[in-house]
Amino acid sequence: MVSPMNAPQQTPRPAQTGSAQTSSAQTGLVQTGLAEPARAGFGAPAPAASPVPEPRMTARNVNLWYGQKQALFEVSLDIPKHQVTALIGPSGCGKSTFLRCLNRMNDTIEGVRMEGDIRLDGRDIYDRSIDVVELRQAVGMVFQKPNPFPKSIYDNIAYGPRIHGLAQDKAELDEIVENSLKGAGLWTEVQDRLDTPGNSLSGGQQQRLCIARAIAVSPEVILMDEPCSALDPIATAHIEELIDALRANFTIAIVTHNMQQAARVSQKTAFFHLGKLIEHDDTEQIFTNPRQSMTQDYITGRFG
Ligand SMILES: Nc1ncnc2c1ncn2[C@@H]1O[C@H](COP(=O)(O)OP(=O)(O)O)[C@@H](O)[C@H]1O
Ligand SMILES: [Mg+2]
C-alpha cells in the first residue's frame, strides 16, 4: 500500500480550466509550490486515478452529541474531489454540525462527543497524530456572516500565509495576496486600496475577502456555511459564480437553506433531517427524481 504522502501525482489539478481570475495555473499558488512544506500529508494526491470521481473526504458512521443530546446519527458521506457538495435540510437538522466535523471545528465546543471515521485523502483527521492547525489549513472554512479580521485588506489575506510560513519574503507574500484576491474575484475592486480596513468593504466584497483569505493558504477543501444568507441577490450571484469557478482548484462543501442555490452551484446534494442523512446523490437526481419521499416533500416545500 502506497502511502498517500509519497504517492506519485496521478491526478493533477486541472490547469487553465477556471475563469481567468481563478485558475491556479495563473494564480501561481500551485505552481510555485509555496504551500507544500506546511501541509505535509494533506496536500498529497490520493494514490490512483480512477474513472469514478475519488472522494477528497469520507465520513463513515458519524454520531455526535452535544452533552446528552444527539445531533448526528450514523452519517456516512463522501465529498468528491473538484465538485461542490451541497448540504440541505430544515433548520436544526445538523448541517452545520456535520460541516464542522470536517475540520474539527466542533473540538472547540464544550461538551461535544463524536464517534465515527472522517478522512481527508485517506488520513483519519481525528487521529492523535493530526495537527489541527495544519488540518484547518487543508480544510478551510467560510462562515455565514462575513468576518474579516479588524485589519487591512492586505493583512487579512497575508495572515494565514504568515502564520504558516508560506512566503520567503515580502515579494512572495505580495504575490500570494494578489493571487488570492484574483482567485476570489476581488482584485480589480481593491488593488488600489489594500491598506484600507477589510470591514470597510461592502458585505459581498467582505465575503469574497473571506474566501480570498481561505484560499491564501492553498487548502484542499473549502467548507462554506450559508455563505450567501447575509448578502443581497447581486452579491449572492457573484459568490455563486465564484464557487463554480473555485471547484477547478478546490473541493467544496456548502450548507445552504436555499434549494435553488443548491441546484445551481452543486454537483452532489445531501439531504439531512433530524440529524440523519436521508439521501445523497447527484444534485440533478435529488431535484428531479429523489428516491425518498421525505426528500421529495422537502424539495417541494411541504416542510422545512
Ligand atoms: N453549540 C451547541 N450546543 C448545543 N446544541 C447545539 C449546538 N449547536 C447546535 N446544536 C443543536 O444541534 C442540532 C443541529 O444544529 P445545527 O447543526 O446548527 O443545524 P443546522 O445547521 O442544520 O440548522 C440542533 O438541535 C441544535 O440546536
Ligand atoms: Mg446551520
Pocket of ligand 1 (CB under 6 A): 66, 71, 89, 91-97, 109
CATH for 53: 3.40.50.300
Please check whether residue 7 lies inside any domain of the structure: no
Q: What is the pLDDT of residue 53?
A: 72
Distance (angstroms) between ligand 2 centre and the Cα of 72 equals 13
Please check whether residue 127 lies inside any domain of the structure: yes
Please check whether residue 3 lies inside any domain of the structure: no
Q: What is the pLDDT of residue 42?
A: 57
Nearest CA to ligand 1 atom 6: 66
Distance (angstroms) between ligand 2 centre and the Cα of 94 equals 7
Q: Domain count of the chain?
A: 1
Q: What is the pTM of this model?
A: 0.84
Nearest CA to ligand 1 atom 5: 66
Distance (angstroms) between ligand 1 centre and the Cα of 99 equals 11
Above 50 in pLDDT, residue 2? Answer: no
For the sheet with 221-225, list strands across it: 139-142, 221-225, 251-255, 84-88, 268-273, 276-282
9-59 per-position pLDDT tens digit: 344 333 333 333 333 333 333 333 333 333 445 544 444 444 567 899 999
Please state whether beta strands 55-66 and 268-273 pair in parallel, antiparallel, or not at all (unpaired): unpaired
Please check whether residue 234 lies inside any domain of the structure: yes
102-130 per-position pLDDT tens digit: 999 999 999 999 999 999 999 999 999 99
Q: What is the pLDDT of residue 54?
A: 85
| Distance in angstroms (rounded) separating the CA atoms of residues 287 and 281 | 10
Atom of ligand 1 nearest to the CA of 275: 14
Q: What is the pLDDT of residue 30?
A: 32
124-152 per-position pLDDT tens digit: 999 999 999 999 999 999 999 999 999 99
Q: What is the pLDDT of residue 78?
A: 97
Which has the higher per-residue pLDDT, 44 or 250? 250
Please check whether residue 87 lies inside any domain of the structure: yes
Percent of the chain with pLDDT over 90: 81
Mean pLDDT of 175-195: 97
- For ligand 1, mutation pick of 65, 87, 93, 97 (most atoms within 8 Å of CB): 97
Distance (angstroms) between ligand 2 centre and the Cα of 95 equals 6
- Which residue segment(s) compose the domain that 238 sits in? 14-299
Distance (angstroms) between ligand 2 centre and the Cα of 225 equals 7
Sequence letter at residue 232: D
Above 50 in pLDDT, residue 71? Answer: yes
Cα–Cα separations (whole angstroms), residue 158 to 1, 210, 215: 38, 12, 11
Please check whether residue 4 lies inside any domain of the structure: no
- For ligand 1, mutation pick of 62, 64, 66 (most atoms within 8 Å of CB): 66
Nearest CA to ligand 1 atom 3: 66
Ligand at shortest distance from the CA of 71: 1
Ligand at shortest distance from the CA of 70: 1
Atom of ligand 1 nearest to the CA of 225: 21
Q: What is the pLDDT of residue 14?
A: 39
Mean pLDDT of 227-234: 93
**CB distance 139 to 223 below 8 Å:** yes
Please check whether residue 264 lies inside any domain of the structure: yes
Q: How confident is the model at residue 190 (pLDDT cuts 50, 70, 90)?
A: very high
CA nearest to 166, candidates 132, 215, 221: 215
Please check whether residue 6 lies inside any domain of the structure: no
Q: How confident is the model at residue 304 (pLDDT cuts 50, 70, 90)?
A: confident
Q: Which residues contact 134 (CB under 8 A, 6 or more apart)?
A: 38, 39, 40, 41, 42
Above 50 in pLDDT, residue 296? Answer: yes
Report the sign of the C-alpha dihedral through residues 96, 232, 80, 221, in that order. Answer: negative
Above 50 in pLDDT, residue 6? Answer: no
Ligand at shortest distance from the CA of 66: 1
Average pLDDT, the chain: 87
